[in-house]
């Protein structure tokens, strides 16, 4: 299973993101197994797709979720202290809620791979020590 950040979700749908769209489309077939994201990533992607193309692009994201191997990780209130700690630790980057939710998902589910176009994932550490394997790299 590989974690999926909001950036690729946006780029896969919004063809106006020309470079990232082609990069993510080329990377997608190389990723093995189902993809996992979090509700904060979905929310972020929905917001930006709404700003860029309105409801038609947002509907495309919802269809993508329904028809792909993209699963959504449900996180609990007990994850909030760790999310806050991560956002404090990486405040200089800064780390947003979506990124922190993916790091917590990685820690909880023992995952190390992430599909993202966000260079911050090269700096983030799982359990404060293990680097992510970032795709497309």
Instruction: Walk me through the domains of the chain, giving residue ranges and CATH numbers.
Output: 2-129 (3.40.50.1010)
The pLDDT of residue 50 is 97
Rounded to an integer, what distance in angstroms lies between the CA atom of residue 132 and that of residue 113?
6
The pLDDT of residue 96 is 97
What is the CB neighbour count within 10 angstroms for residue 27? 17
Question: In the predicted model, is pLDDT for residue 129 greater than 90?
Answer: yes
**What are the tens digits of pLDDT across the range 32-84?**
889 999 999 999 999 999 999 999 999 999 999 999 889 999 999 999 999 99
Tokens (6 digits) for 56? 């038609």
Predicted TM-score of the model (pTM): 0.94
Question: In the predicted model, is pLDDT for residue 137 greater than 80?
Answer: no
Burial of 88 (0-12, 13-18, 19+ CB in 10 A): exposed
């Amino acid at each position: 299973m590989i974690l999926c950040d909001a950036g690729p979700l946006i780029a896969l749908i919004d063809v106006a993101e020309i470079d990232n769209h082609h990069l993510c489309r080329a990377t997608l077939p190389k990723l093995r197994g189902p993809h996992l994201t979090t509700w904060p990533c979905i929310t972020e992607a929905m917001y930006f797709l709404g700003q860029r193309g309105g409801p038609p692009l947002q509907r495309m994201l919802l269809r993508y979720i329904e028809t792909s191997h993209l699963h959504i990780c449900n996180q609990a209130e007990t994850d909030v202290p760790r999310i806050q700690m991560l956002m404090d630790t990486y405040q200089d980057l800064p780390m947003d809620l979506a990124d922190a939710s993916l790091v917590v998902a990685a820690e909880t589910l023992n995952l190390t791979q992430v599909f993202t176009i966000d260079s911050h994932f090269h700096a983030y550490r799982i359990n404060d020590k293990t680097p992510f394997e970032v795709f497309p790299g």
